[in-house]
Amino acid sequence: MPNTISISAVDPADRYAIVVAQWNRSITSQLLEGAVTMLCEEGVAESRIDIAWVPGSWEIPLVAQRFASSGNHVAVICLGAVIRGETTHDQHINRGVSLAISQIALETSLPVLFGILTCESMEQAIHRAGGQVGNKGADCAEAAMQMVGLLKNIPTG
């Protein structure tokens, strides 16, 4: 009989960090609202959520790393919206930021969630920030709590 690792419920004592980009703020503020609402619905107190606004998505990893290595948080949720323009800037940002975020998670052994929209158009972003395709900030917060609850039941060795 295989042993499926259980996922612990949210511990109200846990602190969560959110790093959110100001660039495309109309979108990222919706992602932030979705994430905070989801955390609170699941039992995280608002006072236990630390939010840091950074200029753009490119700046997210450095602040995420600071939070992740502080030892004060059980997860870091990264929120941003990169929208394709006339040049290839979006590809550079997306590649650098996604790689950095995965590295921070592995280096710190903490869930560092990738909630950065990488869209072809503003319309696509609107759909993912509380529109037709849901709210990816809320999804990210849910994934963060799930990962925290799962890792609590897997020994670090």
- Which region among 83-91, 106-114, 126-134, 149-157 touches ligand RBF (by CB under 6 A)? 83-91
State the Cα angle at 114 between 109 and 21, rounded to 5°.
115
**Smallest separation, CB 128 to ligand RBF (Å):** 14
State the Cα angle at 95 between 113 and 56, rounded to 5°.
65
CA distances (Å), 67 to each of 42, 61, 104, 107, in order? 22, 10, 10, 13
Which residue lies nearer to ligand RBF by CB, 81 or 113? 81
**Smallest separation, CB 6 to ligand RBF (Å):** 37
Active site residue 89: yes
Q: Contact between 57 and ligand RBF (CB under 6 A)?
A: yes
Q: Which two tokens stand for residue 116?
A: 């950065």
Residues 115/136, Cβ–Cβ less than 8 Å: yes
Q: Contact between 83 and ligand RBF (CB under 6 A)?
A: yes
Residues 92-111 touching ligand RBF, rule: CB under 6 A, are 93
- H or E element, residue 56: none
- What is the C-alpha separation between 113 and 116, in angstroms, rounded? 9
Q: Contact between 89 and ligand RBF (CB under 6 A)?
A: yes
**Smallest separation, CB 2 to ligand RBF (Å):** 42
Binding site for ligand RBF (CB under 6 A): 21, 23-24, 55-59, 80-83, 85, 89, 93
